[in-house]
């Protein structure tokens, strides 16, 4: 390593640009300079290595500049970085998916280690955002370096004190040791925060997945106008419904990872719940993958969201299947652990393990598996959110999760789930296999719909009319209060929470309850956690977006029934 990487006095801020074919290099450098980033164009691989030794903050490289080249010197440079350093590389890739190119691309990602991939064609704002994210990550690394140096300096001072002083200073020695341990903890937390942010990677992953879903929906809508065959129209509609369901599932996984997905914990019997999934697992996995259940007869019920638990188990089973290309065995086991503790978590827990006989993981992969959108699968074979969602689910449920794996020896994912003291319901529902029941009967009356988005308002208006309501629409909370003040006959108010203006949906509900306490109000939001607590304090139900017609009908019926019940 160069001496410039061993000091924090003047950390480098420039970006090296290595794109030797065509004008990609100069054009990219000019684009970066326009947003205030110092960029240096490297003409060849030796030039890149010289600039790396002089010091840099990030590297932007086109993959064709590395393809077929001897990268031994670059690999050695990367391996020689100190513990705090992990040089960020932003790699511009092509759409070539030939096996040889795909295999090389996987190896180059392993060689460079800290990599963000951008696929051509790439928008200027995407390129500059990715490079700026890399620069921020590099800045965090230098903060970690400063912490390491401070810890080393403190250790040296401690050693000098211990050597120079007598028994009288032993208590001070212990205090300093505790301080060093705290600094080490802060350093680890900072490094973990750097990894878990992954702003550029996270944004790219979300955009990639949602663009695919929107392509199915937009393309399907366009084709519906051109298609007269009923069967083909039905297939197009089914494809769009599946894309919408995938988008909803992706959002739930993101919220679960960020620990912001509102869960509905209940007492769950693991034997009944997982046993009820047996047919679903057998149907979803290949014929050469065998599933074995080893769940203790007297296993305790656990306090978790039943639907999210089934989704986690299904995701883990899919990961295990993909890790066994030649077939193998998946063992799902559960056992009781009383008075278990880990850090600040203590109590009675159930140890739920999903174990496979697959290829296992390397140490480098195992340390990153809970990062969002980190995946070793090929493009299109997985979003990289399954284990991230498992992590979020376990932590949000009050437990923990860890992975034990060695290359060639299989993998075990172990969840510690809190014991429930509540009675278990007689019939456990499977949210993965169920479909919402159709709302019985039709409504009569008028709904005041408060929604600022015209397209959403048009769709919801049709949904409300479908279940029998007349609809009066307002585009803001103030407009909704105006509609009520006009003396219109309104039977229920259905309002979005996030709206322009000084008043949001929760404020509107409070104002309506003051003016007309008997008028039922139902709220909806695409980010339920942001508003759930405020709505609960106001005594108002929140219907999470996206929702189906049956969900809307059921929520309105329950809201109106509850309002009628409170009058009697």
pLDDT in tens, 201-239: 455 556 556 666 666 666 666 677 666 777 777 777 777
Specify the pLDDT at position 453. Answer: 81
Which value, in Å, is the radius of gyration of the alpha carbons in the chain?
Answer: 28
Specify the pLDDT at position 194. Answer: 47
Is 165 part of a structural domain of the chain?
Answer: no
- Torsion over CA: 126, 128, 129, 130 (sign): positive
- If asked whether residues 253 and 343 sit together in one domain, one would say no
- If asked whether residues 80 and 56 sit together in one domain, one would say yes
- If asked whether residues 358 and 466 sit together in one domain, one would say no
CB 531 within 8 A of CB 523: yes
159-167 long-range contacts (CB < 8 A, ≥24 apart) are none
Maximum distance among all Cα pairs of the chain, rounded to whole angstroms: 93
Is 545 part of a structural domain of the chain?
Answer: yes
How many domains would you assign to the chain? Answer: 4
Q: Which of 269, 265, 264, 263 is nearest to 427 (CA)?
A: 269
Specify the pLDDT at position 253. Answer: 53
Specify the pLDDT at position 204. Answer: 53
- If asked whether residues 44 and 73 sit together in one domain, one would say yes
Phi and psi at residue 510, to the nearest 5°: -60, -40
Q: Which of 331, 329, 323, 320 is nearest to 353 (CA)?
A: 331
Structure tokens, 455 = 């397209």
- If asked whether residues 450 and 398 sit together in one domain, one would say no
Q: Cβ neighbours of residue 552 under 8 Å, at least 6 residues apart?
A: 460, 463, 464, 467, 543
Beta strands in 343-485 (DSSP E): 345-356, 400-405, 411-418, 446-450, 470-474
The CATH number of residue 16's host domain is 3.40.50.2300
Which residue ranges in the chain fall short of pLDDT 70?
1-10, 187-222, 225-227, 246, 248-263, 279-280, 283-284, 372-386, 425-442, 527-532, 566-568
- Angle in degrees, 0-180, between the axes of helices 72-79 and 99-112, rounded to the nearest 10: 40
pLDDT tens digit sequence for 275-326: 877 766 776 677 788 889 999 989 999 999 887 888 788 888 888 888 898 8
- If asked whether residues 296 and 371 sit together in one domain, one would say yes
| Residue 98 per-residue DSSP state | -
- If asked whether residues 15 and 116 sit together in one domain, one would say yes
The CATH number of residue 359's host domain is 3.30.565.10
What are residue 447's DSSP bridge partners? 471, 492
> Which domain-ending residue is among 140, 175, 191?
140
DSSP H or E segment with residue 319: helix 306-322
- If asked whether residues 120 and 206 sit together in one domain, one would say no
Is 158 part of a structural domain of the chain?
Answer: no
> Which domain-ending residue is among 116, 140, 164?
140
Is 424 part of a structural domain of the chain?
Answer: no
Q: Which of 300, 528, 518 is nearest to 417 (CA)?
A: 300
Residue written as token pair 């188990």: 313
- If asked whether residues 117 and 43 sit together in one domain, one would say yes
- If asked whether residues 309 and 247 sit together in one domain, one would say no
Is 431 part of a structural domain of the chain?
Answer: no
Specify the pLDDT at position 120. Answer: 86
- If asked whether residues 306 and 404 sit together in one domain, one would say yes
Is 146 part of a structural domain of the chain?
Answer: no
Binning the chain into helix, strand and coil, the percentages to the nearest 5 are 50, 20, 30
Specify the pLDDT at position 487. Answer: 72
Is 253 part of a structural domain of the chain?
Answer: yes
- If asked whether residues 206 and 307 sit together in one domain, one would say no
CB 412 within 8 A of CB 405: yes
**DSSP codes, 515-559:** H-TTS-EEEEESSHHHHHHHHHHTT-EEEESS--HHHHHHHHHHH
> Which domain-ending residue is among 418, 435, 462?
418
Cα angle, residue 384 at apex, residues 269 and 94 outer, rounded to 5°: 160
Specify the pLDDT at position 521. Answer: 94
Specify the pLDDT at position 182. Answer: 83
Residues 568 and 250: their CA atoms lie apart, in Å, by 43
Is 404 part of a structural domain of the chain?
Answer: yes
Which range marks the domain in which residue 469 is found? 446-567
Query: Is this structure's pTM higher than 0.75?
Result: no
* Chain centroid, CA 398 distance in Å: 18
Specify the pLDDT at position 396. Answer: 85
């Amino acid at each position: 390593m160069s001496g410039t990487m061993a000091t924090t006095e003047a950390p480098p801020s420039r970006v090296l640009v290595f794109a030797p074919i065509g004008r990609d290099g100069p054009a990219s450098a000019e684009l970066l300079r326009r947003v205030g980033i110092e960029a240096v164009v490297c003409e060849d691989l030796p030039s890149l290595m010289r600039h790396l030794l002089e010091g840099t903050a990030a590297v932007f490289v086109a993959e064709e500049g590395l393809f077929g080249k001897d990268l031994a010197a670059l690999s050695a440079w990367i391996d020689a970085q100190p513990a705090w350093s992990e040089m960020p590389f932003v790699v511009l890739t092509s759409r070539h998916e030939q096996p040889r190119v795909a295999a090389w691309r996987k190896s180059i990602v392993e060689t460079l280690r800290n990599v963000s991939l951008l696929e051509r064609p790439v928008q200027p704002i995407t390129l500059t955002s990715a490079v700026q994210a890399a620069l921020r990550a590099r800045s965090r690394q230098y903060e970690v370096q400063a912490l390491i140096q401070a810890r080393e300096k403190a250790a040296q001072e401690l050693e000098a004190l211990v050597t120079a002083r007598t028994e009288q200073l032993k208590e001070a020695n212990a205090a300093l040791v505790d301080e060093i341990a705290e600094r080490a903890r802060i350093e680890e937390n900072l490094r973990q925060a750097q990894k878990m942010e992954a702003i550029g990677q996270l944004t790219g992953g979300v955009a990639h997945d949602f663009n695919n879903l929107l392509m199915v929906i937009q393309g399907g809508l366009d084709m519906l106008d051109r298609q007269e065959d009923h069967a083909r129209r039905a297939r197009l509609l089914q494809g769009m419904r599946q894309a919408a369901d995938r988008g909803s599932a992706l959002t739930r996984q993101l919220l679960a990872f960020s620990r912001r997905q509102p869960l509905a914990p209940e007492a769950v019997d693991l034997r009944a719940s997982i046993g009820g999934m047996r047919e679903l697992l057998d149907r979803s996995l290949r014929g050469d993958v065998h599933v074995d259940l080893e769940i203790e007869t007297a296993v305790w019920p656990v306090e978790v969201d039943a639907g999210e638990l089934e989704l986690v188990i299904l995701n883990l089973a899919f990961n295990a299947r993909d890790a066994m290309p030649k077939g193998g065995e998946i063992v799902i086991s559960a056992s009781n652990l009383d008075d278990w503790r880990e850090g600040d978590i203590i109590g009675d827990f159930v140890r739920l393990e999903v174990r496979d006989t697959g290829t296992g993981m390397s140490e480098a992969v195992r340390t990153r598996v809970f990062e969002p959108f980190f995946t070793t699968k090929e493009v299109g074979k997985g979003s990289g959110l399954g284990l991230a969602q498992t992590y979020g689910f376990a932590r949000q449920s009050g437990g923990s999760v860890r992975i034990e794996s060695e290359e060639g020896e299989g993998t075990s994912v172990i969840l510690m789930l809190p014991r429930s003291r509540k009675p278990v319901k007689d019939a456990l529902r499977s949210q993965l296999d169920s479909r919402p029941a159709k709302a019985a009967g039709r409504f009569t009356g008028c709904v005041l719909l408060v929604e600022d988005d015209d397209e959403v308002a048009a769709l919801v208006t049709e949904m409300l009319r479908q279940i029998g309501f007349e609809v009066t629409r307002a585009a803001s909370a103030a407009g909704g209060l105006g509609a009520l003040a006009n003396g219109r006959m309104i039977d229920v108010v259905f309002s979005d929470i996030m709206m322009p203006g000084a008043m949001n949906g929760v404020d509107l509900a409070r104002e309506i309850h003051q003016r007309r306490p008997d008028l039922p109000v139902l709220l909806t939001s695409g980010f339920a956690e942001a508003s759930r607590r405020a709505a609960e304090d106001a005594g108002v139900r929140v219907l999470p977006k996206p929702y189906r017609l049956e969900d809307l009908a059921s929520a309105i019926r329950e809201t109106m029934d509850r309002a009628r019940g409170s009058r009697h």
